[in-house]
Chain A
Amino acid sequence: MDLPHADAILIMGSNMAECHPVGFRFVVEARLRGAKVIHVDPRFTRTSALADLYAPLRAGSDIVFLGGLIRYILENERYFREYLVAYTNAATLITDEYVDAEQGAGLFSGFDPEARRYDPRSWRYDAEPREPEAEPIEPSLADPASFSQASLNRTGPPRTDPTLQDPQCVFQILRRHYARYTPETVERVCGTPRDVFLKVAETLCDASGPDRTAALCYAVGWTQHTTGVQIIRAATIVQLLLGNIGRPGGGILALRGHASIQGSTDVPTLYNLLPGYLNTPSVHKNHDSLRDYLLSEITPTGYWSRMPAFVVSLLKAWFGEAATAENDYGFGWLPRITGDHSHLPMFVAMMEGTIKGFLAMGQNPAVGGQNAGYQRRALAKLDWLVVRDLYETETASFWKDSPEVRSGELRPEQIPTEVFLMPAAATAEMDGTYTNTQRLIQWHERAADPPGDARSDLWFTFHLMRRLKTMYAESRLERDRPIQALTWDYLDPHENAGWKVADEPSARLVLKEMNGYLTATGQPLSGFGELKADGSTACGVWIYSGIYAPTPEEPGGHNHAANRHNGPTWNALDWGFSWPANRRILYNRASADPAGNPWPKEARLAAEHGDGTARGYVYWDAAARRWVGLDVPDFPSDKPPDAAAKPDGIGLDFHDGSSPFIMKADGKGWLFVPTGLVDGPLPTHYEPYESPVVNSLYPERQSNPVAKVWNVPGNPYAAVGSAEYPCVLSTYRLTEHHLSGSMSRWLPWLAALQPELFVEISPEHAAELGAANLDWLEVATPRAAIRARALVTRRIRPFVIDGRTIHHVGMPWHWGYKGVVTGDVVNDLAALVGDPNVTIHEAKVFVCRVERVAGSSVARR
């Protein structure tokens, strides 16, 4: 919604027009207002078609391209100096123990080659050691601040050089690190013509600064790499250097994989997070008690110092009256993780027989999973499988009609898996919310009864747990206590009057619990500022707090996600609810200068598109001594811009009045990441795990040294530069279908729009293969070989890398063996290999062989 105010929009790692067509309307609007739209992508897509500037790049070379932008900005002094010095860690000094990958032949200091792991301690800020306390503080929940005080010794104020000259300051480290990322390097490694790259750099820089802002949009084209997190980090550096974070028309927009994926990371459905981005307790850390957990997880400076209140309120929401100060509020009942339990390792564990049962709810791994053939074979090892979906998906029917069954490799009578297919209700048949890309939570109402026995996911989850609670009600085993203690009261029969499903749980009551309430009265809270660590408040998702805040009209709580008023300005504060605290732009203190005055762009926007009174987006009103503006200020409301930092302070007291990044320990935007990433403090170029070329920046270090790799049977990888698999393959999606097709291939209207699997190849490649448009091609990787029709198009181009022609092919992955239209499963080709930080798979680039199927010209149906 904020995009129309950008002066330029760089879309990279995203085919936004095709995969987010509704959000793309805001890009179109920006363009109609004169913004320059840039698209960087291996393929010329429907997004490229609407861009002012299209830059091709070889898949997997994104960090070289972005590193090239960073170098261009630094060496041509196009950075926004005032923003950079005040708001980022550019001036911060790094300890001299740090050795950059440029000196370490592709390895940062701290690498343990045996364990394939980094010890990040040498990446830390250079800070005066603190005087140890005479008497160590024993933290206690009676004084939540004591946890911060007890762990304060970890973060002394770092040394800085605001002149940016010190060789150990982040700014100079950046300059050295990206010195080799010249336009020539970009051309050589990415295959992007030098002049096109420079045009992109100039356009982006021209649209940034005090009086302009540029936005950046990405999607899974960036994440699905073994360097996915670092690619996004590189974008962060670009935007921080240009001063485009925390300002209208700026930012980095993470376009999520599908509707409400943002919500499922917030709430979340991830194994390693509790709601609101709190880490799941782990057996590998000192998480033995609530005290130990808080001590090891707390960041004593910055807003996260309030963590004890968030954790205790969460435990109160889950375990209610059973959670007491005496029993650590039930902290011991939370399950501990023992390692990486995300999707890929979960299926390896399934194959190895560790995982016996599986619930697939709204997921179709038989088609959507990486190395999908591996995943189907793993499903065949299960004792039981529950699939809840709109149709009988490939995951539900793998035991009778998967390619493995058809080939005779698996026989239904020998597959032990008992499959339960449960019909699911669709969105329009239930109340609920969507959380969109920009953290906007929008309520949707039930519009129709679900057909037959179909039920909502909420219904299924609620009644499953209700039955479990009945089954375990009499148990005296301690391990069953969490099931007994769990609060589980979401029925409001009044809401179901007139509807078919009389025992549908109330999504509104779930939302109320997420919002938080006083445990004594049940009265909803107004926001997370009211959360306490003493058990007097409960809150299911602290970052969502305020979504059900009382209003004068509804003192018992109002569903703010259901608000539908545009309001006087474009950020439409009365439309839905945006976490946190209905704030539309995060870190918006940065939309004012260090003295608290609006930057020129914000002043102009407020004059042209504001509410008639605001002078900027968010700024300091010296008369009222408050932060005011068009958005909810993301800063202590009465902390003046000239407030001094308190070196011994905890929480936000540690920050001065011009440190907008309140969630960070130092209040600064991180160009350099001293802690939190497992693969280095700065993005650096590694080739994809499977690549046709050698890493020309670090010949000794081909791919991410800490990438997650599974050398297991059924998951072979191609060697670097393999002659057998010379082409680069990207998988992707089309507007006409949804993911594995389970919501589109069954619908004739959508099926007809893209009826068949195809492989996009260039005319040059087709000529080499002797293939014509629509011929059948076989595409093979070490994992599988599948067939698809050729779609020959100049939208695909061969890349000349270091003088060698690399053919790039693209395949949409929507087809499977069920539905109105069917086709081979493209994800059979992909490998189990992942990013080391988040274990996202590498689907955007791997290698393959393409051959024409003999006699295929006559194989037309």
Chain B
Amino acid sequence: MPEPVGFYTDTTVCIGCKACEVACHQWNALPARNGGQVPLSGQSYDNTTRFSDVDWRHVRFIEQFPEDRNGGRWLMMSDVCKHCVNAPCLEVCPTGSIVRTEFDTVYIQEPVCNGCRDCIAACPFGVIHISAEKHIAQKCTFCYDRLQVGLPPACAQACPTRSIQFGPIDELKQRAAERVAQLQAQGQTDAYLYGADDSILGGLNSFYLLLDRPEVYGLPSAVQARLPSRSVWPASLKAIGASLAVALGAFLSFGRRRDAVKATEGHTRSP
């Protein structure tokens, strides 16, 4: 049995290069949103802006500058699926599509997914999205295919500054604790770990070293991130019903989607 693995993301050494986003797209053969023609967001250097069915990694940019600019900082963080120990998506999945792998990661088995979207509602991190092409739930696979042949995930391998570290989860936690202690000793007293203990959903297999409140990074606090309290059986029934409705809806919307695609193609390339 392989050891449980995870990601430790040290945001203090992230340079916002987005190599992780590109590596993720490349390895997983994910297309660029709208063929690469997306609007300028105006939100710092973040033009990805959120997770999507084709954006499983997302680098956030947070500009914190007081009016006089003294002590200003530009925080960057590469975000991804947390591969929670108690994963709400896995709990609510009615078809058993979402499973825990032998590496302790959370994985969507595509052929089993019926596109019901319950997992989307259950995820407190906004990680999961329905693929516009495949009509099933999509998120970070933790490069399950790479793990199976002994390779690190593509994002961690591409990260030039080792902001994204991959390894056995216990080892990562120890390394992260040492880094926090180092930062604290250097006077960086706001450094702390998010998701390394079991307070959030029993622990996050992708945990972070942060310098500000979780909300600043678009992460829920421990209070907000809670496992769905419903008992599993009625929830599943409900989910099956919902998934049927969604499937029907998706079927009916095929025609509309084709029209929408045509309308998009009608737009000329931006000048």
Name A residues whose Cβ lies closer than 8 Å to a Cβ of B.
17-18, 21-22, 24-25, 28, 31-32, 44, 46-50, 734-736, 747-756, 758, 773-774, 789, 791, 793-795, 797, 820-822, 860-861
CA distance A820 to B39 in the complex (A): 13
B binding-site residues for A, Cβ under 8 Å:
12-13, 15-19, 21-22, 25-26, 31-40, 42, 44-45, 47-48, 63, 65, 67, 69, 72-76, 160-162, 182, 269-271
In the complex, which residue of chain A has the Cβ closest to the Cβ of B267? A861
Residues of A within 8 A of B45 (CB): 46, 734, 754
Q: Give the CA-CA distance A436 to B251 in the complex, in Å.
A: 55
- Pick from B36, B269, B270 the residue with the most CB of A within 10 Å: B36
Given A28-B162, A861-B270; A749-B39 close (CB under 8 Å):
no
- Chain B residues within an 8 Å CB radius of A820: 35-37
B63 contact set on A, CB distance < 8 A: 793-795
Contacts of A749 in B (CB 8 A): 21-22, 25-26, 32, 36
> Cβ of A32 and Cβ of B270 under 8 Å apart?
no
Given the complex, which residues of A lie within 8 Å of B42, measured CB to CB? 773-774, 789, 791
How many inter-chain contacts with C-beta < 8 Å in the A-B complex? Answer: 123
Complex Cα spacing A748 to B48, Å: 13
User: A758's contact among B40, B72, B76, by CB below 8 Å, is which?
Assistant: B40
CB pair A822–B17 under 8 Å, yes or no, is no
- Apart from A748-B31, A794-B65, 8 more pairs, CB < 8 Å: A21-B160, A32-B182, A49-B76, A748-B32, A749-B22, A752-B33, A794-B67, A860-B39
- Expressed in whole angstroms, the Cα–Cα distance for A735 and B19 within the complex equals 9
Partner of B15, one of A46, A751, A789: A46
| A56 closest partner in B (C-beta) | B69
Please give me the residue from chain B that is nearest to A17 by CB atom. Answer: B15
A50 and B82 CA atoms in complex are apart in Å by: 25
A304 to B198, CA, bound (A): 67
Nearest residue (CB) in A for B75 is: A49
Residues of B within 8 A of A822 (CB): 269-271
Chain B proximity of A808: nearest CB distance (Å): 13
Minimal Cβ-Cβ distance residue in A for B15 = A17
A794's closest neighbor in chain B, by CB? B65
Q: Is A756 touching B36 in the complex (CB atoms < 8 A)?
A: no
Question: What are the nearest 4 A-B pairs in CB distance?
Answer: A748-B36, A751-B36, A748-B32, A794-B65
Pairs across A and B, CB under 8 Å, 27 listed: A21-B19, A25-B160, A44-B69, A49-B15, A49-B16, A50-B15, A735-B17, A750-B22, A751-B36, A752-B36, A752-B37, A753-B18, A754-B47, A755-B36, A773-B42, A774-B42, A793-B44, A793-B65, A794-B67, A794-B72, A795-B65, A821-B36, A821-B270, A822-B270, A822-B271, A861-B39, A861-B270
- Whether the Cβ atoms of A18 and B74 lie closer than 8 Å is no
User: For residue B16, which residue of chain A has the nearest CB?
Assistant: A46
Docked Cα-Cα span, A860 to B41, in Å, equals 11
Q: Is the CB of A753 within 8 A of B40?
A: no
B65 to A752, Cβ gap below 8 A? no
Asked if residues B13 and A752 are in contact (CB atoms below 8 Å), the reply is: no
Q: Cα distance A284–B161 when bound, in Å?
A: 50
Q: Given A795-B65, A861-B39, answer yes or no on A752-B161 (Cβ-Cβ < 8 Å).
A: no
Instruction: Judge whether B40 and A795 touch: CB under 8 Å.
Output: no
In the assembled complex, the CB of A548 is this many whole angstroms from the nearest CB of chain B, namely 31
Cβ contacts under 8 Å, B18 to chain A: 735-736, 753
Residues of B within 8 A of A22 (CB): 160
- When distances are taken between beta carbons in the complex, the residues of chain A under 8 Å from B48 are 752-753
B232 to chain A, nearest CB (A): 39
Contact, CB under 8 Å: A50 / B36: no
